[in-house]
DNA sequence: AGAGAAAATGTTATATTGTTGCAATTCTTT
DNA sequence: AAAGAATTGCAACAATATAACATTTTCTCT
């Protein structure tokens, strides 16, 4: 899986993007009375810095590379916190995590997952998801989260600019 | 996770349901020139017999309980075949498999996953998924599969008839 | 400030899920 | 029957995730 940015992420200032995400997360936590501890912040930063979804063990490695001694339970607990509070998403089909760019509306979401390069683009929830939640409600199913995952091939890979 | 049927499955003749699924699968394979071997059939049967999504190791246990000596790679390979050919679905968020009741249209689907009892109901694909695939195409993303997973509480659990 | 409670983190061990690689078998085709 | 392809058996192992308990930090209340 290449480390290069994908079509969805290419051409932007990623450092700036990461800084923005972290400061937005800090604001969100302050307002909500949540504790964005140094560890949690580092985990969130590692996730945001990556151009593709990061597994828990990859996060471990990233923090260890920065000089922190971090073991899996620590990372998983930080990820629990971040996910519960809508700061990261777990992409179940990849066992990996991405930063959430729709803070607060984190229970619903739409994802485009490229099976070639592993990149994931998050689209905002739309009325399709709302409507599905409504239909489910009509069947007496109380939907807490509705997530749509499309697996396929991103524009960059289709264009052959990142692929083989 | 209780073994009892859920609201989506309660009140039906499950043996008949399993037999129907297996014979439909056999038909499908015959028509498509696929080999539904005894092993694959047993795995498919184990999945269909269960009232909740079954993990690979649970399938192992089920076959061993029937007297077959079956190890994980064997089960995973059978599941690969069944999933590739649209006979089962993998529910990524549960690391588990369910029988597919929309054979042939297996790339798109909608699922209601009850986090209390673990039951999963599959709803037929609808035009909203098709539309999403189309929209993704407009963004130059070639969607091979579009899956919508709602996590929440099923009617039975909400009614307290299966839950605590 | 200080005591006690709650939350977060560190640490060891282990559970669960999934894969690799190769040998043996079975099926298909000629 | 023989070659080739697909399937299955098997042993080892890799990757992902959690349990249980000790320790530290932070918060709250007096």
pLDDT at B1: 45
Question: What is the CATH number for B63?
Answer: 1.10.10.10
Q: Using beta carbons and an 8 Å cutoff, which residues of A are at the interface with B?
A: 7, 92-93, 110, 112, 114-115, 121, 128-129, 131-133, 136, 139-155, 158
Assigned domain for B139 exists: yes
* Res B94 pLDDT > 90: yes
Assigned domain for A7 exists: no
Q: Are the beta carbons of B53 and B120 closer than 8 angstroms?
A: yes
pLDDT at A14: 86
Which residue, among A87, A96, A88, A130, has the nearest Cα to A114 in the 3D structure? A96
Confidence grade of residue A145 (pLDDT, cut at 50, 70, 90): confident
The SS3 of residue B54 is strand
| Other CB atoms within 10 Å distance of the CB of residue A158 | 17
- Look up residue B60 and give its two tokens: 């192992």
Confidence grade of residue A51 (pLDDT, cut at 50, 70, 90): confident
Assigned domain for B60 exists: yes
Share above pLDDT 70 across residues of chain B, in percent, rounded to a whole number: 89
Confidence grade of residue A101 (pLDDT, cut at 50, 70, 90): confident
Which residue, chain included where needed, has tokens 């200032």?
Answer: A13
CA distances A96 to A7, A15, A17, A58, A119, Å, are: 20, 21, 20, 9, 11
State the Cα–Cα distance between residues A5 and A8, nearest whole angstrom: 8
- Least CB–CB distance from A155: residue in B133, B140, B143: B140
State the Cα–Cα distance between residues A72 and A58, nearest whole angstrom: 10
Assigned domain for B26 exists: yes
Assigned domain for A1 exists: no
**Phi, psi at B96, each rounded to 5°:** -150, 165
Mean pLDDT of B86-104: 89
pLDDT at A129: 82
Contacts of B147 in chain A (CB under 8 A): 148-151
- What are B4-34's pLDDT values in tens digits? 434 455 567 888 999 999 999 999 999 999 9
Assigned domain for A4 exists: no
Domain count, chain B: 1
Assigned domain for A3 exists: no
* Res A6 pLDDT > 50: no
- Look up residue A66 and give its two tokens: 């920065």
Assigned domain for B23 exists: yes
Q: For the stretch B149-163, what's the b/e string if a residue is b when 16 or more beta carbons lie within 10 angstroms of its beta carbon?
A: bbbbbbbbbbeeebe
* Res A114 pLDDT > 70: yes
Q: Which domain holds residue B142?
A: 14-158
Measure CA to C1' and name the residue nearest C19. Answer: B73
């Amino acid at each position: 899986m290449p480390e290069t940015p994908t079509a969805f992420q290419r051409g932007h200032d990623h450092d700036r993007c990461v800084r923005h995400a972290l400061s937005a997360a800090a604001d969100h936590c302050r307002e909500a009375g949540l504790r964005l501890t140094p560890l949690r912040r580092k985990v969130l930063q590692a996730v945001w810095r990556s151009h593709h979804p990061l597994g828990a063990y990859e996060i471990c490695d990233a923090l260890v590379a920065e000089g922190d001694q971090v073991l899996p339970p620590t990372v998983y607990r930080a990820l629990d916190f971040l996910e519960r509070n809508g700061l990261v998403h777990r992409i179940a089909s990849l066992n990996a995590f991405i930063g959430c760019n729709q803070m607060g509306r984190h229970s619903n979401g739409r994802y485009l997952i490229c099976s070639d390069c592993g990149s994931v683009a998050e689209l905002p929830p739309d009325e399709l998801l709302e409507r599905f939640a409504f239909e489910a409600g009509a069947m007496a199913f109380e939907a807490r989260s509705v997530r749509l995952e499309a697996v396929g091939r991103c524009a960059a890979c289709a264009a052959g600019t990142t692929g083989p």
